[in-house]
Amino acid sequence: MPDIVAELHTEGFAIVRGFFDADDMQRIGAEADRIYQEGLRHHATYRDRNLLLEVLDDPRAGRRVVLQAHWTPWISPHLELMRRDPRYLELLEPFLGRDIRQITHQIHWKPPGAKYTFYRYHQDARFRNPSSLRNLLYGSLNTGLAIDRQTAANGALRVIPRSHLNGYLGLSEDGTIMTGHTPDEELRRAGLDPHSAVICEMEPGDLLLWTLYTVHGSAPNMSAEDRRFLISSYVRAGDSDRGEWTFRDGVSTPLGPQPEICKYEQLRERPGPFYIEDDWTEEARAARR
């Protein structure tokens, strides 16, 4: 753990090999597949409180695909237990202490043959409300669990080492991070070397850690296999006014009867369920012209 702490503080990311074993990953993978099929039951992106299933009729794949699912612990008892597994406390305590909330729980798919399977370089601080999170750099920690093998071919996450030391850089703020690409010149203007990016290749069960200021993105899936990745973002409870409790004084804490505000700001005014007709794709923008 001291090595991981030092690496995260110095480089802005670290990889924990074999965080979950093969049996764990078989169960997690089965749940991810079940949730994917649940998403396909919907004709468009579906929200019910914090639960979100992002569904898209992909123009290149010629089929409906699920790109993301947020807060599936509300419909998966297994993932509800997994998000607060004691192994997470052992990992997170040196960074965040024993009182920890969770801001995000997201399964990402990169369906083979689909058009929108990449992410422009960005910093996750862009998607946090700074008025409710008082220590953006070291009060929060992102974790990414490899459900499938993560490779250059299927679009493994890429990070730029030590970029977290430069503060917020405003990358890719001109729209969604899932269309277009990040030109090398944009990175250079921000003082970053595009050739320094590290491809975080991982085996199932490996866990990637990175900060809210670490610049990261990913290339499209060019393989014939899916790339499933489970992102959970945790925060020191004393530094945040929002998020679901995960550990209280080190005790694993289940979800309560009602969801807490995490990232969905309109939770109380518009809890759902409802559908969202996505307007961020190139096709949707072209249709509006």
Distance CA 167, CA 87 (A): 30
State the pairing for strand pair 45-48/274-276: antiparallel
| Distances, alpha carbon 139 to alpha carbons 45, 123, 210, 253, 287, in Å | 31, 15, 12, 19, 42
25-63 tens-digit pLDDT = 999 999 999 999 999 999 999 999 999 999 999 999 999
Residue 48 tokens read as 């019910």
The pLDDT of 151-161, averaged and rounded, is 98
Q: Which domain holds residue 109?
A: 2-288
Evaluate whether 235 touches 96 at the Cβ level (below 8 Å). Answer: yes
Distance CA 42, CA 173 (A): 29
The pLDDT of 243-265, averaged and rounded, is 97
58-83 tens-digit pLDDT = 999 999 999 999 999 999 999 999 99
Question: In the structure, what pLDDT confidence band is assigned to residue 18 with cuts at 50, 70 and 90?
Answer: very high
What percent of the chain is predicted at pLDDT more than 70?
Answer: 99
What percent of the chain is predicted at pLDDT more than 90?
Answer: 89
CATH label of the domain that carries residue 36: 2.60.120.620
pLDDT number for residue 1: 64
Kindly report the number of other CB atoms within 10 A of residue 152's CB atom.
14
pLDDT number for residue 2: 64
Residue given tokens 């468009």 in the structure block: 44
> What HEC string does 128-140 produce?
CCCCCECCCCCCE
Pick the closest to residue 10 from 237, 209, 188 (CA basis): 209
Give how many domains the chain has, as a whole number: 1
Q: What is the pTM of this model?
A: 0.96
pLDDT number for residue 55: 98
Please, what is the average pLDDT of the chain?
95
Pick the closest to residue 75 from 224, 273, 229 (CA basis): 273
Distance CA 70, CA 54 (A): 8
